[in-house]
Amino acid sequence: MDEKELLIQYIESQHECEWLDFKERFYVIKHNKDAFIKDVVSFANSLQAKDKYIIFGVKDGNHGICGVLPDTIPDISTLENLLVEKVEPQITIVLGSFVIDNKLIAFLKIPYSNENRPYMIKNECGTVKQGDIYIRKGSINVKATRRDLDDIYTNQYQQYIIPYDEGIIIEPVYIKDSLVGEPTYGRIEIEVKNTSNLPLLINCGWIEFENVFGKIERSIYDILPNSNIRENPFEIPQNSHFVKTVLFEFTSTDCITLHFDEDGHLVTKTYVKTFFQDINGKIFESDPKEFFIIAKGDILHKVRYKYKEFRQYLKKKRKNILRAIELNQEADFKELMHVSCIDFSLILPKYVLHHPEFPEYDICAEMIQTAINVNNEYVIKLMKAYGLPQSFIELTLGYE
């Protein structure tokens, strides 16, 4: 995922937090230098192990996209000079922009590489006074407390838990003394780093999956070799760096929700985020990344049954369906489609026309061609309403 995709996902989340803020307009530096300085210092002092962003051109309240005017964005040197004059030590910032829905979105990035915390006000500027230290908590900026400073000094070192690679396997797993044979879990590798002088104890975690079909969260069960981290917290020793295998819960219904195919492949672009929480409530959250995900075994039984129902229904009703299309019998066609097994989103982007094991692809192509031949726009519209990808329509019609 590139930076633009990440920021669009942040905008769609509509969630301001310790690494994200939305503003309708860019700072008018001439009049509100103090607001700019306070925001940047607060984000730079945040201990979240990720880049922080202030995104401009997003409405307050509903977080709709309104865009900004190009001439309201100052040169970055103006912002950098102001920070050098008013803040110590020096903070690195990045200024950027992109277009979405024909509207200009600007953003200010405060990279996580700003690690020389605490950052404080060097010279008074409006409402911010010399010696003030601000920190981001949730969606607000506040003056740092003694506890905040203790945390900053304690955590001047790297602490993170992130996916090690971009692959996930969901399959039966042998667990010693398990009461249910070989339960099915998702398996992901994580990279763990703690260069501080204090250990971490992880007792909670979850994984978030999101694609065009749905969004689910599933609890992390084990960080091997620890079983059930809620009861047996996983210790990350001080000054350590290693890779571990994590097991998380996953069900056959999840395979339906995210649209695995019957071979266990998740061909739809799917983004994954991991969350781990220590016994003090500190959360380690990864950025969303696109993953290659495959499922094996009996967990696919619902998916396979759904494909089987869909395939058999189209084969059985093929003649009736094509007749209704040819004769422009909209009511009959709608009735034929209004059954629980009809889900054209099962026609995934691994097109297999003219394959005897996958007749549903050829039947769908026939339906589209017949509708085009008799100028029946209703059929295409209804098929799309039931999930048929536009890309399959284009393939059927010979578009590149």
Question: What are the pLDDT digits (tens) for 100-118?
Answer: 989 999 999 999 889 899 9
Annotate 133-185 with DSSP letters as a single string. Answer: -EEEETTEEEE--HHHHHHHHHT-S-EEEEESSSEEEEEE---TT-SSSS-EE
Residue 136 sits in the same domain as residue 176: no
Same domain? For 177 and 92 the reply is no
Looking at the fold, whether 30 and 88 belong to one and the same domain comes out as yes
Enclosing domain of residue 44: 3-156
Residues 290 and 348 in one domain: no
Q: Are residues 91 and 131 in the same domain?
A: yes
Interaxial angle between packed helices 377-385 and 359-373, expressed in degrees from 0 to 180 and rounded to the nearest 10: 140
Given this model, what pLDDT does residue 400 score? 45
Give residue-wise pLDDT tens across range 176-227. 655 455 678 999 999 998 888 889 999 999 999 999 889 999 999 899 887 7
The predicted model scores a pTM of 0.67
Separation between Cα atoms, residue 73 and residue 121, nearest integer Å:
24
Length of the chain: 400
Q: Is the dihedral of CA 229, 231, 232, 238 positive or negative?
A: positive
Phi, psi of 348 (to 5 degrees): -85, 170
Q: How confident is the model at residue 391 (pLDDT cuts 50, 70, 90)?
A: confident
- Residue 152 in this model has a pLDDT that exceeds 90: no
Three-state DSSP class for residue 212: coil
Q: Which of 306, 301, 382 is nearest to 348 (CA)?
A: 306
pLDDT at 278: 92
DSSP class of residue 57 equals S
The pLDDT assigned to 283 comes to 86
Strands 159-163 and 184-194: antiparallel
Do 16 and 144 reside in the same domain of the chain?
yes
Is the pLDDT at 379 greater than 50, yes or no?
Answer: yes
Neighbours of 44 (CB within 10 A): 26
Q: Over pLDDT 90: what percentage of the chain?
A: 62
What are residue 240's DSSP bridge partners? 194
Tell me how far apart the alpha carbons of residues 336 and 313 are, in angstroms, rounded to a whole number. Answer: 10
> What is the tally of structural domains in the chain?
3
User: Mean pLDDT across the chain, nearest whole number?
Assistant: 89
Q: Are residues 149 and 180 in the same domain?
A: no
Q: What is the mean pLDDT of residues 46-59?
A: 91
**What Cα–Cα distance (Å) separates residue 197 from each residue in 102, 233, 378?**
49, 19, 67
Indicate the residue among 156, 190, 215 that finishes a domain. Answer: 156
Please give the angle made by the CA atoms of 198, 196 and 6, to the nearest 5 degrees. 120
Q: Are 283 and 331 in the same domain?
A: no
Report how far residue 110's alpha carbon sits from residue 44's, in angstroms, rounded to the nearest whole number.
6
Residues 324-335, mean pLDDT to the nearest whole number: 94
Specify whether 143 is located in the same domain as 100: yes
Characterize the bridge pairing of strands 240-249 and 214-223.
antiparallel
Query: 221 exposed, middle or buried (CB, 10 Å; 0-12, 13-18, 19+)?
Result: buried
- Are 94 and 226 contained in the same domain? no
Q: Are residues 219 and 287 in the same domain?
A: yes
Residues 6+ apart with CB under 8 A from 391: 349
3-state helix, strand, coil in the chain (%, to 5): 30, 30, 40
pLDDT digits (tens, 9 = 90+) for 283-316: 888 888 899 999 999 999 999 999 999 999 999 9
- Domain end, chosen from 231, 266, 296, is at 296
Task: Examine the fold and report which residue of 129, 156, 183 is the final residue of a domain before the chain moves on.
Answer: 156
- Output the six-digit token pair for 325: 């299309």
Residues 74, 96: one domain? yes
Which two tokens mark 219?
Answer: 């609890």
> Quick count: other Cβ atoms within 10 Å of Cβ 362?
17
Q: Where are the beta strands (DSSP E) in 257-388?
A: 271-278, 283-285, 289-290, 292-295
First vs last Cα of the chain: how many Å apart? Answer: 25
Biggest alpha carbon distance in the chain? 81
Report the CATH number at residue 272: 2.60.40
Q: What pLDDT sits at residue 62?
A: 80
**Amino acid letter for position 394:** E
